[in-house]
Structure 1
Amino acid sequence: MVRRIATALAVAWLMVGGCLSPDPVRAEIAVTDLDGHRVVLEQPARRILIADGRFLMALALIHPDPVSLLVAWPHDIDHIGPATYARFRAHAPEIADLAKVSTGARVQSVERIVASDPDLVIVSAHGHLADSQRRAIEQAGIPVLTLDFFIHPLRNLAPSLRILGQVTGQEDRAEAFLAFRRAHMDAIADRLTGEDVTRPSVFLEPHAGYTEDCCNSVGAGNIGEYIAFAGGENIGAAVIEGARGTLNLEYVISRAPEVYIATGGPHMEGHDGVVCGLGYQAVRVRQSLARVVARPGIAQLPAVRNERAYGLSHQLLNSPLDILALEMLAKAIHPERFQALDPEATKQTISDRFLPIQLDGAYWGGLAPGQLTMTSD
């Protein structure tokens, strides 16, 4: 009897001791990335190397202190904008001292990556690592994760952000933002149903004015997916193979686009392009857009003559902030159907609910004051 009691006490002690162990066994995290590779982590990543600075904004949407997760990044400030970088630096000064790696996966130095001692390397699908690079990094015991916010954003952005939430232990925050994005996308789609919906022709010119040549544009993928979702007919889709390419000016004129969109941002300062984004005032957007559309050939387009020409921040693309670009495009392409849509309110909600920084500034604008603002139905 005494022996049985002693045995029971010993078992109970082992059970309690196991429960109180300061280092409980963690379940591993296993995901399949956008290249189809299985990536396994023993615990949420805390020393991440990102091969594109734009991943910083994605991390910021799902983590209250995204810089604390980083061990290295490209310091490619133009990809996020100097004012945005300054805002992140004010929030987390250590961002300036993080190890620097190259921008884009294919130009990465494997030795520099390994020397940074990350517990996870994140690369973009549109500039993914060569197989030999990936193998070398993985042989050093460092997992590599490929995400896609660029090639097929409408199909791949949600699973990419969901995976990012899983590998950082921020699943709930990732799902909350994705639900927000999905609800706003559904609201756009609902307004574009019915047999009476037309598809105005749209000419979108990325980084317009960066060079004297005309005309950079987009195909069916990438930004072209946004144009189609927002109810427009992308004039580049018929002739550009892939996500982006060049259109002949004569072709653009022959298509007589009803809507013109020029993307730009802080990187267009000094290049006679559209400047917009964090810290910019609406009047600067209008002034820079007016210069862009005054170019020979562009000035004669129906979209410009009818004041249906707009500027859009390129920093909203290749990013989960693409919902702001979608709402702006919907208002530009179908102003009569989206009078009550308020992208500015959406931007403010994202800043308040999801980000550690504020997105104050004009990220889009038209030729006339008040365009793209909300009016009552």
Structure 2
Amino acid sequence: MAASLFTGVANAEVKTITDVIGREVEVDLPAKRIVLGMYYEDFMAVGTAAAYDNVVGISKDVWAGWVPANWAMHVAARPSLDQIPDVGEVEAQNFSIEKVLSLKPDLVVLADWQYQGLGLDVDHIEEAGIPVIVVDYNAQTLERHLASTRLFGEITGQTERAEEIAAFYETALNDVAARVAKAGGPKPKVYVEFGNKGPAEHSFTYGKNMWGAMATAAGGDNIAAPFVEWWGPINPEQVLSAKPDAIFIAGRENNKSETALPMGQQVDAAEARAKLSAFAGRPGWSDLPAIKNGKLFGVYQGASRTLSDFAMVQFISKQLYPEAFADVDPVANYLGYYEKYLPVKPAGTFAISAAEG
């Protein structure tokens, strides 16, 4: 009894909670057998590493496949992660309802995009008496980030820690907004692209969510917003005619293209800068204000759709309003977040300028 007073985890209790898409779900909390679809670091930051003692299944490719260096870093710190059964991946259309049911979870947690992608298959899970909770960091809205964090607090019994992290995130975003408002003036035009295809082929840009929403939160005028709802390519001529003042290319560790932008865990800064600089050689880009003024930057794709993305918002803002953010070190803040809330220490290249070095 005495030990339980210091765990920070509440006793089991059936609660009705509302998820991020407004569904009221009755759940026995804190959950003891969880299938977790995404947002693995956010779940760990809120619930602590011990929360994975209660995870019986994951959509493994979303972590190990999308950000393998990040996955390897966590497995090195907690080898048992690699033993958690894989339930498949929604986008790859191999998510197995049968596998989920065989694990006998008392809760399934899905990202909003996973819930939407599974459609009527979710009914099979709920018909088996297993509640499904929807969370969402992909929208990159303050409202959904905070709501998802508090839901993780409810699920893991770490409500106080969830409130602390939610307050931390909200304070960081409000500080960005206040600095941008104080700086005033017209909003710089921003273009963001996923650099997974390299300079020769234009890849996805972002409209209302992910990097598009982050660029807007950072005080930028996202040139893709009128043309792209969520994510997708736009005509290269549109980029040229919009004349962006700053360009951000998002990169990751596991690229199929040799010319793609590498960013993230264990990525060498010199290699990242060299491949980032190659994007400036695209036809017509030399005439863009962003390229003329040395405003071509690389950012880490893995630092979107997560609580640590506040640091990427800070980085974008600092490039758009350098004087207003002169005392802000976004990369140090990114690493500081890990030091405070997660059991691993990233090392690599997470935000960079092509003009440096």
Runs of at least 5 residues in structure 1 that lack an aligned partner in the other structure: 1-23, 371-377
Runs of at least 5 residues in structure 2 that lack an aligned partner in the other structure: 1-9
Counterparts of residues 226-241 of structure 1 (less than 5 Å): 226-240=214-228
TM-score normalised according to structure 1 size:
0.85
Matching residue's letter, 1:167:
I
The one-character-per-residue Cα deviations of 1:346-375 (angstroms, maximum 9, x if unpaired) are 1232122111111222211001227xxxxx
Residue aligning to 1:88 = 74
Q: Tell me if 1:72 matches 2:57.
A: yes
Q: Tell me if 1:180 matches 2:168.
A: yes
Q: CA deviation at 1:25?
A: 7.9
Asked if the contact 1:330–1:338 (Cα under 8 Å) also holds between the matched residues in 2, the reply is yes
Structure 1 residues 127 and 181: alpha-carbon distance in aligned structure 2, compared to 1, 3 A threshold: same
The one-character-per-residue Cα deviations of 1:194-239 (angstroms, maximum 9, x if unpaired) are 4833211111112353584325311133322211111111111122
Higher mean Cα deviation, 247-256 or 209-218? Answer: 209-218
Q: CA deviation at 1:299?
A: 4.1
TM-score normalised according to structure 2 size:
0.89
Counterparts of residues 1-377 of structure 1 (less than 5 Å): 26-52=12-38, 55-65=39-49, 66-76=51-61, 77=63, 81-104=67-90, 107-129=94-116, 130-194=118-182, 196-210=184-198, 212-240=200-228, 242-268=229-255, 270-369=257-356
Q: Secondary structure at the match of 1:117?
A: coil
Structure 1 residues 110 and 339: alpha-carbon distance in aligned structure 2, compared to 1, 3 A threshold: same
Asked if the contact 1:49–1:71 (Cα under 8 Å) also holds between the matched residues in 2, the reply is yes
C-alpha distance in structure 2 between counterparts of 1:25 and 1:308, whole Å:
52
C-alpha distance in structure 1 between counterparts of 2:316 and 2:12, whole Å:
45
The CA RMSD over aligned residues, in Å, is 2.2
Matching residue's letter, 2:86:
K
Q: CA deviation at 1:314?
A: 0.6
Asked if the contact 1:124–1:147 (Cα under 8 Å) also holds between the matched residues in 2, the reply is yes
Alignment size in residue pairs: 344
Structure 1 residues 29 and 200: alpha-carbon distance in aligned structure 2, compared to 1, 3 A threshold: same
Higher Cα radius of gyration: 1
C-alpha distance in structure 1 between counterparts of 2:296 and 2:68, whole Å:
26
C-alpha distance in structure 2 between counterparts of 1:94 and 1:155, whole Å:
33
Q: CA deviation at 1:162?
A: 0.6
C-alpha distance in structure 1 between counterparts of 2:35 and 2:153, whole Å:
16
C-alpha distance in structure 1 between counterparts of 2:197 and 2:329, whole Å:
28
Higher mean Cα deviation, 102-111 or 272-281? Answer: 102-111
Asked if the contact 1:119–1:142 (Cα under 8 Å) also holds between the matched residues in 2, the reply is yes
Q: How many percent of aligned residue pairs carry the same amino acid?
A: 25
Q: CA deviation at 1:154?
A: 2.7
Q: CA deviation at 1:152?
A: 4.7
